[in-house]
Amino acid sequence: MPLARLASSFVDVKCHEGFHCVSAVDVFGRNHDFKFEGLPEGKVIPQRYRGAYEDNCPARGDMTTGGDCRDTGKGPAGFCWSHDRFESGPDSPCKDPDLCKCVKNAEQGTATHSHQGESHQHVAGESQQGTDLLTRKYWVQPPAECEDCSQHNCSMETCNKCKNCEYGTKTFLGRTSKGCYDVDSGVARLERVGSDKGRKYLFAGMEGLDSTQKQEDLVVIPHYSMWDPGSTRRVDEFGGAPTDPTYELKFPYQDRREPLSREAWIDAYKQAAPRIQNLLDSTASNVKEWGPKANDIDCTQDIMGRVSKIRMFRRECKKYQGLAQHLAPKTPFESNVPDDKGGFIPVKCKMGGQGMCEELNCYSDDADLIKGITHLNERAKVCRNALTELIKEEEKNGPIGAEAEISAKTGGRLEVALPPPGVEYQEPQASPDQAQAAAAAANSPAPAAMPVDAALALASAAGAAATSWHRFLSGNSHPHSHPGQASAVLSSRGSSSKDACHTHAQQHMRSTRVSRTLGDFL
More confident residue, 208 or 356: 356
Q: According to DSSP H, which parts of 291-410 are helical?
A: 303-327, 367-397
In this predicted model, what pLDDT tens digit does every residue of 135-175 receive, in sequence order?
888 999 887 667 677 777 777 777 876 777 888 888 877 78
In this predicted model, what pLDDT tens digit does every residue of 224-236 receive, in sequence order?
999 999 999 988 8
Q: What is the mean pLDDT of the chain?
A: 75
Q: Residue 265: pLDDT band by 50, 70, 90 thresholds? A: very high
| One domain, residues 276 and 319 | yes
Final residue belonging to a domain, choices 159, 175, 210 = 210
Domain-embedded: residue 403:
no
| One domain, residues 205 and 218 | no
Residue 61 DSSP label: S
Q: Stretch 174-187: mean pLDDT, rounded?
A: 79
DSSP letters spanning 94-121: B-STTTEEEEEE-SS--SEEEETTEEEE
Dihedral, CA atoms, 345, 351, 355, 358, nearest 10 degrees?
A: -100
Domain-embedded: residue 423:
yes
| One domain, residues 389 and 240 | yes
Residue 317 has pLDDT above 90, yes or no: yes
Domain-embedded: residue 410:
no
Ranges 31-35, 118-122, 123-127, 148-152: which has the least confidence? 118-122
- Counting Cα atoms < 13 Å in the Cβ hemisphere of 444 gives 26
Final residue belonging to a domain, choices 179, 210, 241 = 210
More confident residue, 402 or 87: 87
If you average pLDDT over each of 129-138, 183-192, 203-212, 398-407, which comes out highest? Answer: 129-138
Work out how many domains the chain is built from and give that number. 4
| One domain, residues 392 and 510 | no
Distance set, CA 389 to CA 383, 385, 472 (Å): 10, 6, 17
Domain boundaries, position 184: 145-210
Domain-embedded: residue 482:
yes
Q: Stretch 280-307: mean pLDDT, rounded?
A: 92
| One domain, residues 172 and 219 | no
Q: Residue 38: pLDDT band by 50, 70, 90 thresholds? A: confident
Phi, psi of 33 (to 5 degrees): -135, 145
Gap between the Cα atoms of 520 and 522, Å rounded:
6
pLDDT of residue 474: 42
Gap between the Cα atoms of 56 and 439, Å rounded:
73
Final residue belonging to a domain, choices 155, 188, 210 = 210
More confident residue, 89 or 375: 375
Gap between the Cα atoms of 90 and 175, Å rounded:
31
Gap between the Cα atoms of 250 and 316, Å rounded:
12
pLDDT of residue 2: 44
Gap between the Cα atoms of 488 and 438, Å rounded:
28
Gap between the Cα atoms of 326 and 518, Å rounded:
53
Domain-embedded: residue 407:
no
| One domain, residues 381 and 447 | no
* CA angle (479 as vertex; 476, 482 as ends), nearest 5: 55
Kindly state the percentage of the chain with pLDDT values over 90: 36
| One domain, residues 218 and 257 | no
Residue 65 has pLDDT above 60, yes or no: yes
Closest CA to 94 of 214, 10, 210, 209: 10
Closest CA to 162 of 103, 102, 203, 193: 203
| One domain, residues 232 and 162 | no
Is 88 in a helix, a strand, or coil? strand
Bridge partners for 324 per DSSP: none
Per-residue 3-state assignment (H helix, E strand, C coil) for 307-334: HHHHHHHHHHHHHHHHHHHHHCCCCCEC
Q: Residue 21: pLDDT band by 50, 70, 90 thresholds? A: very high
In this predicted model, what pLDDT tens digit does every residue of 436-489 receive, in sequence order?
766 666 665 544 444 444 344 334 434 433 444 344 334 444 444 443 333 333
8 A C-beta contact, residue 86 and residue 13: yes
8 A C-beta contact, residue 115 and residue 126: yes
More confident residue, 509 or 156: 156
| One domain, residues 261 and 158 | no
Domain-embedded: residue 162:
yes
pLDDT of residue 493: 33
Domain-embedded: residue 409:
no
Domain-embedded: residue 455:
yes
- CB atoms under 10 Å from CB of 509, counted, come to 12
Gap between the Cα atoms of 475 and 391, Å rounded:
19
| One domain, residues 238 and 218 | no
pLDDT of residue 148: 73
Gap between the Cα atoms of 275 and 228, Å rounded:
7
| One domain, residues 242 and 380 | yes
Provide CB contacts within 8 A for 39, sequence distance 6+: 1, 2, 3, 27, 28, 29, 93
Provide CB contacts within 8 A for 226, sequence distance 6+: 67, 255, 257, 259, 260, 265, 268, 269, 272, 320
Gap between the Cα atoms of 361 and 372, Å rounded:
18
| One domain, residues 117 and 1 | yes
